[in-house]
């Protein structure tokens, strides 16, 4: 043990180190200020500018944004019946996808956490993780190939003398694709929650006369709920803001909030109105986050 | 213990869900070898033509280079800031700690379109020119979260008593960091960095708003999807991309195994 301490025991570095040790809060500040200021400057400030942009107006001739206050954009969003319909449609899809993912993810997570052997569990864990990290765009595009009239699904259905389904560019296709793409986000937090339940708790329940169903309902479900809520943040919020899938799988036939925002910004080049529409998903998600916070979702993230 | 029929039922159901997760990936890999000009199923003829076309496409190569640059820059920023935040939140107690950890995961909880449009508003407001730099800044917001999650998971599991012992034995703060803290954290940081890179490499929603005239690989792929008759070439690139992101994720998973899996996006 010669190298670490031999160098300069009473040098400047040592004094500096001792200084930081005595003033722990200074060390905390040194650690905290860089990431905190980055997040505040890059992320929070940007959200504030987005909010401000929603109340600015655009010069119709030059397309320049004029930084004077107006209620016009927000009023347009509030009064436009098409946007109401789009909001309803988007929220419906987000809820539907979330419910489907819970139904698919819970039994799988339960099997992984409580039934499967160690080896199978590890295999399934990596198996769920890999699709999560493989390219989003390509997964979306695959669903376009699969749901087409001459796609994989109809081919498989024809093999068992069923079909064909005409779901190309439909909301059904989008529902399948969204359910598929966000499924791992639901499985992992539920698995983490279920894995943490001590076996003794379940034994206690059966010792006290609780049958499987009763144990599931009164012991396991309440403890899994934070995990389900955490997963639902992802499935709900990611569906709510998506516009790529709406384009690739839905063929832009149905408007979603994300696609409308993107269209106003990209094609109509009306950033203030796009910003005003973007406030709708922000408000919806804020409400959702406040709801699931009560279920302990943030502790299970 | 669950009754036997329930366990068998669960096993069959789980197998079905795993098939649901993997069939689309198999389809896309096979489609990249489809000899037909239009994407059809089943595939009648297989070819390597689309692969060679993709390999020699200059715009695809530039896009690939851009994706690497952006990914490396965003990962570097995320490693420094994400691990600093992880230290502060797991080794100290202070006012507002809970709200801060909530703030840190916000970029993942809010949809990308909000982050993207916000950054575009800033670009517009400050009259900046969208470039690879703005893309990298945008990516850093969610890359920080990934590094943070991995580092925090490791720090929570390792007690600070090793660090205290090191100090008691006469090491100064720097030596303790260099010889105790960093080696303990190293694999978690590598894993976090790999995942952050994979996430940035694949990102399109935020990129689309902040890239301006620049193209990253996902943007190139997205544009190709919208052109007629180029999809097959894209399939080849797609499989390449899947392979390229699978490698860092696999490595990250191995590195984090001893500390209970990677705390990926959640």
What ipTM describes this predicted complex?
Answer: 0.81
Which residues lie below 8 Å from residue A183, measured CB to CB, with a gap of 6+? A101, A104, A105, A131, B17, B20, B21
Is A234 within 8 Å of chain B by CB?
A: yes
- How many angstroms away from the CA of A212 is the closest CA of chain B? 7
Give B18's contacts in chain A (Cβ within 8 Å): 108, 124, 127-128
Q: What is the pLDDT of residue B248?
A: 76
Euclidean distance between CA atoms B199 and B145, whole angstroms: 11
Bridge partner list, A57:
A66
Please give the structure tokens belonging to residue A137: 């765009």
Is A272 within 8 Å of chain B by CB?
A: no
Exposed e or buried b per residue across B186-210, where buried means at least 16 C-beta atoms within 10 angstroms of its C-beta: ebbbbbbbbbbbbbbbbbbbbbbbb
Check B110 against A104: CB less than 8 A apart: no
Best interface-test mutation with A: which of B6, B13, B14, B36 has the largest number of A CBs within 10 A? B14
Euclidean distance between CA atoms B5 and B191, whole angstroms: 40
Is B36 within 8 Å of chain A by CB?
A: no
What backbone torsions phi and psi does residue A65 show, to the nearest 5 degrees? -90, 125
Cα three-residue angle B189-B195-B201, rounded to 5 degrees: 135
In angstroms, what CA-CA distances link B181 with B87, B155, B162, B187, B189?
10, 9, 8, 12, 12
The predicted-structure confidence for A161-195, as pLDDT tens digits, reads as follows 777 778 778 889 999 999 999 999 899 889 988 88
Rg (Cα) of chain B, in Å, rounded?
22
Residue B202 and residue A96 in contact, taking contact as beta carbons nearer than 8 Å? no
Query: Is-cis flag, bond preceding A164, omega within 30?
Result: yes
* A220 DSSP 8-state letter: I
What backbone torsions phi and psi does residue B46 show, to the nearest 5 degrees? -110, 150
Euclidean distance between CA atoms A125 and A20, whole angstroms: 42
For residue A196, is pLDDT > 70? yes
Q: Number of residue pairs across A and B with CB atoms under 8 Å?
A: 269
Q: pLDDT by residue for chain B (266 residues), tens digit each? A: 677 888 899 999 999 999 999 998 888 777 767 656 555 666 666 666 666 666 677 888 888 899 999 999 999 999 999 998 888 888 777 777 777 777 887 887 788 899 999 999 999 888 888 889 999 999 998 899 888 888 887 887 776 777 778 778 877 777 777 777 777 788 888 888 888 888 888 888 899 888 888 889 889 888 887 776 666 677 777 777 777 777 777 777 777 665 444 444 33
A57-58 and A65-66: which strand pairing? antiparallel
Euclidean distance between CA atoms A279 and A101, whole angstroms: 26
Nearest residue on chain B to A37, judged by CA atoms? B81
Best interface-test mutation with A: which of B74, B104, B109 has the largest number of A CBs within 10 A? B109
């Amino acid at each position: 043990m010669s190298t670490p301490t031999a160098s300069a025991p009473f040098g400047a570095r040592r004094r500096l180190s001792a200084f930081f040790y005595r003033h722990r809060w200074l060390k905390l500040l040194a650690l905290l200020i860089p990431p905190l200021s980055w997040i505040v400057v890059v992320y929070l400030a940007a959200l504030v500018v987005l909010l401000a942009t929603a109340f600015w107006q655009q010069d119709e001739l030059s397309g320049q944004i004029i930084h004077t206050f107006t209620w016009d954009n927000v009023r347009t969003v509030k009064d436009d019946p098409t946007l109401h319909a789009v909001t309803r449609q988007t929220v419906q899809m987000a809820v539907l996808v979330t419910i489907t993912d819970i139904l698919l993810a819970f039994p799988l997570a339960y099997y992984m956490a409580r039934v499967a052997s160690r080896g199978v569990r590890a295999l399934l864990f990596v198996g769920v993780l890999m699709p999560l990290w493989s390219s989003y765009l390509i997964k979306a595009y695959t669903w376009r190939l699969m749901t087409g009239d001459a796609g994989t699904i109809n081919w498989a259905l024809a093999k068992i003398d069923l079909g064909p389904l005409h779901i190309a560019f439909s909301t059904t296709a989008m529902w399948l694709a969204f359910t598929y793409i966000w499924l791992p986000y639901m499985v992992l937090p539920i698995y983490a929650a279920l894995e943490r339940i001590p076996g003794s708790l379940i034994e206690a329940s059966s010792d006290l006369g609780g049958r499987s169903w009763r144990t599931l309902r009164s012991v396991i479900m309440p403890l899994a709920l934070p995990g389900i809520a955490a997963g639902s943040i992802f499935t709900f919020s990611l569906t709510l803001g998506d516009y790529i899938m709406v384009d690739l799988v839905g063929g832009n036939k149905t408007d979603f909030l994300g696609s409308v925002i993107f269209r106003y910004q990209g094609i109509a080049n009306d950033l203030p109105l796009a910003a005003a529409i973007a406030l709708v998903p922000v408000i919806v998600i804020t409400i959702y986050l406040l709801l699931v916070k009560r279920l302990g979702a943030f502790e299970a993230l | 213990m669950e009754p036997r029929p329930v366990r068998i039922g669960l096993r069959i159901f789980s197998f079905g869900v795993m098939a649901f997760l993997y069939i689309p990936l198999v389809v896309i890999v096979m489609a990249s070898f489809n000899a037909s000009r239009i994407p059809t199923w089943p595939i009648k003829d297989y070819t390597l033509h689309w692969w060679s076309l993709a390999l020699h496409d200059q715009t695809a190569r530039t896009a690939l280079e851009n994706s690497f640059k952006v990914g490396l820059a965003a990962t570097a920023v995320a490693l420094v800031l994400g691990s600093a935040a992880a230290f502060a939140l797991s080794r100290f107690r202070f006012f507002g700690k809970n709200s801060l950890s909530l703030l840190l995961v916000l970029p993942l909880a809010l949809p990308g379109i909000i982050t993207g449009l916000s950054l575009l508003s800033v670009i517009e407001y400050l009259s900046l020119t969208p470039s690879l730099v703005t893309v990298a800044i945008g990516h850093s917001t969610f890359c920080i979260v990934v590094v943070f999650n991995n580092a925090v998971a490791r720090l929570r599991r390792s007690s600070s008593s090793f660090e205290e012992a090191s100090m008691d034995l006469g090491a100064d703060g720097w030596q303790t960091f260099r010889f105790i803290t960093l080696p303990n954290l190293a694999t978690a940081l590598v894993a976090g960095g790999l995942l952050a890179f994979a996430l940035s490499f694949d990102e399109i929603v935020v990129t689309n708003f902040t890239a301006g005239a620049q193209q990253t690989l996902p943007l190139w792929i997205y544009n190709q999807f919208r052109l007629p008759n180029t999809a097959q070439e894209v399939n080849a690139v797609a499989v390449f991309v899947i392979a390229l992101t699978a490698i860092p994720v696999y490595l990250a998973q191995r590195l984090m195994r001893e500390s209970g899996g990677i705390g990926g996006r959640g």
